[in-house]
Amino acid sequence: MNRTLSVRFAFGIVLLSVLSALIIGSIFSALDSSILPGTKPGLPTYFAMFIGQAFLVVPVIIFLLWRNFSLSEALRINPVSRSTVLATVLLSLGAMILSDEINLLVNMVIPMPDSFLQVEAMLTPDNSLSMVLLIFTVVIIAPVGEEILFRGFLQKYLENAWGDITRAILLSSLFFAAIHFNPYWMIQIYFLGILLGFLAWRTSSIVPSIIFHIIINATSLLFSSMGEALEALILWHGHINPIWLIIGAGFFGFGFRQLQTDQGK
């Protein structure tokens, strides 16, 4: 692929995919008359999220098929062992716990803006159909689509074009964080993107990064819906309970070591 694409063109394809998804989503969300400050979104907004995220990979897949590239090769869609899947799950659970503490520390320095309350309201819809659309979009469609686009297509292309794995992971992760258009969470998203990039490179597959992404999104959505009940369970003096932090660090360390062992065989 690196013989037919420039780096600028590869970034352009990704940008086109993101903008296309935003435009498609915006068209459908405009049908929601309930989008007002302090109110919860209606069903059209959740449908718009679903359609927008589903469309994210359409431009890049059309391009690859048009140029007769193998999708499995171009997008790093390769099977992995059960041991790698287990290591990924442990790594993901550990990263989830540790990243929650990072979020709390960031919030101490830079309090969450009031405008973000609308984002929290979006994560707790009023009806079951909206909830189903939200769960399917956040937990399945978004992780699969974003990993195909960023770790499968962009990062793999940059690895081949530059011959520098670190640079490819750092740059693709920065682009990944930037397209979320969320400056408050950009640092956290960037570091998670680096972990996702490492997983995809180390295993030569986006399957582990998809699993990681699914677990992070699913637990974030679950924690948002639980609210105060969750705080009583895991928080201690405004931070993650040290016991949970130790468990999270253990999961992360064990998963990382197991992953290294698996790939070294």
- How crowded is residue 42: how many other Cβ atoms within 10 Å of its Cβ? 18
Does residue 1 form part of some domain?
no
Residue 184 reports pLDDT greater than 80: no
Distance, in Å, from the CA atom of 28 to the CA atom of 46, rounded to the nearest integer, reads: 9
Predicted local confidence at residue 35, as pLDDT: 57
Average pLDDT over residues 90-118: 81
Predicted local confidence at residue 245, as pLDDT: 95
Residue 171 reports pLDDT greater than 90: yes
DSSP SS3 for 35: coil
pLDDT band for 261, please (50, 70, 90 cuts): confident
> Quick one: which of 164, 173, 176, 195 has its CA closest to 2?
164
pLDDT in tens, 186-239: 888 899 999 999 999 999 999 999 999 999 999 888 877 776 666 778 888 888
What mean pLDDT value characterizes the chain?
A: 87
Tell me what percent of the chain is helix, strand and coil, each rounded to the nearest 5: 80, 0, 20
Q: Into how many domains does the chain fold? A: 1
Does residue 69 form part of some domain?
yes
Least confident window among 51-65, 100-114, 128-142: 100-114
Residue 163 reports pLDDT greater than 60: yes
pLDDT band for 39, please (50, 70, 90 cuts): low
Predicted local confidence at residue 148, as pLDDT: 97
pLDDT band for 37, please (50, 70, 90 cuts): low
CA–CA distances in Å: residue 239 to residues 108, 112, 243: 10, 16, 11
Residue 41 reports pLDDT greater than 90: no
Predicted local confidence at residue 177, as pLDDT: 92
Distance, in Å, from the CA atom of 22 to the CA atom of 53, rounded to the nearest integer, reads: 8
Predicted local confidence at residue 136, as pLDDT: 95
pTM metric for this prediction: 0.92
pLDDT in tens, 12-24: 999 999 999 999 9
Does residue 2 form part of some domain?
no
Residue 257 reports pLDDT greater than 80: yes
Structure tokens at 186: 């950009």
Q: Are 140 and 215 in contact (CB under 8 A)?
A: no
Predicted local confidence at residue 20, as pLDDT: 92
Residues β-bridged to residue 235: 240
Does residue 254 form part of some domain?
yes
Print the domain residue range for 129. Answer: 7-264
Whats the size of the chain, residue-wise?
265
Does residue 255 form part of some domain?
yes
Predicted local confidence at residue 185, as pLDDT: 78
Residues β-bridged to residue 236: 239
pLDDT band for 176, please (50, 70, 90 cuts): very high
pLDDT in tens, 111-151: 776 656 566 667 778 888 989 999 999 999 999 999 999 99
